[in-house]
Structure 1
């Protein structure tokens, strides 16, 4: 095994953790400033900053299992995976009305920064 490759991999993974931590801090600071100023988008020093809000469903496993038509459908899902559930709704295996009350909606702010 190539010792240099293993060392390089370790070094890069260490830097990746540091970069991800710093990105999270900067993301929080930028989102906080935008929220405080009531901005959904802005131009700052040659960059366009845009906040996109998404709604995500967080399902309760027990409520979902009791809302599904039969155990075979639950086996398809096996746990409350929002993407699997959305697929079953699209295929009309589960009706949207059956899911009522089985999830909470959570808003997620996504940060997009582009160079102008």
Structure 2
């Protein structure tokens, strides 16, 4: 069992190092594309594509105060943007009613594919 724990520790450490390196590379690639004003580019044998998404970040207190129905709040229990979106799509919650409870955050996703 000690070997498994040791291996787990090694892998978690390696994972942290890889995530740090990925974040740095991602930032470098985003900067490169931003400087060139490109959202899609072929670099060597790789296709780089930037995809912009808007994500809603809810204010728990505002949302709770707006959704006075305890049954609806219980379905959420904690603000989960996917759950809120689902309840909105199902017309359980009206989008107009909760518009003031979130801020829209723009996120740029990086996709790299081998050609």
- In the superposition, the TM-score normalised over structure 2's length comes to 0.92
**SS at 2:91 equivalent:** coil
In structure 2, what is the Cα distance between the partners aligned to 1:112 and 1:53? 11
Q: Can you list the C-alpha shifts for 1:16-67, whole angstroms capped at 9, x where unaligned?
A: 1111100000001111111111110100010000000111000111211222
Q: Number of residue pairs matched?
A: 115
In structure 1, what is the Cα distance between the partners aligned to 2:75 and 2:110? 33
**Map of 1:39 onto structure 2:** 38
In structure 2, what is the Cα distance between the partners aligned to 1:11 and 1:62? 41
In structure 1, what is the Cα distance between the partners aligned to 2:81 and 2:64? 13
**Map of 2:65 onto structure 1:** 66
Pair 1:5-2:8 in alignment? no
CA RMSD of aligned residues (A): 1.3
Structure 1 segments (4+ residues) deviating >4 Å:
none
- In the superposition, the TM-score normalised over structure 1's length comes to 0.91
Pair 1:108-2:107 in alignment? yes
Q: Can you list the C-alpha shifts for 1:74-106, whole angstroms capped at 9, x where unaligned?
A: 121122210110111122110111111111000
In structure 1, what is the Cα distance between the partners aligned to 2:53 and 2:114? 23
Pair 1:52-2:51 in alignment? yes
Q: Flag structure 1 segments of 5+ consecutive residues without an equivalent.
A: none
Q: Flag structure 2 segments of 5+ consecutive residues without an equivalent.
A: none
In structure 2, what is the Cα distance between the partners aligned to 1:14 and 1:31? 26
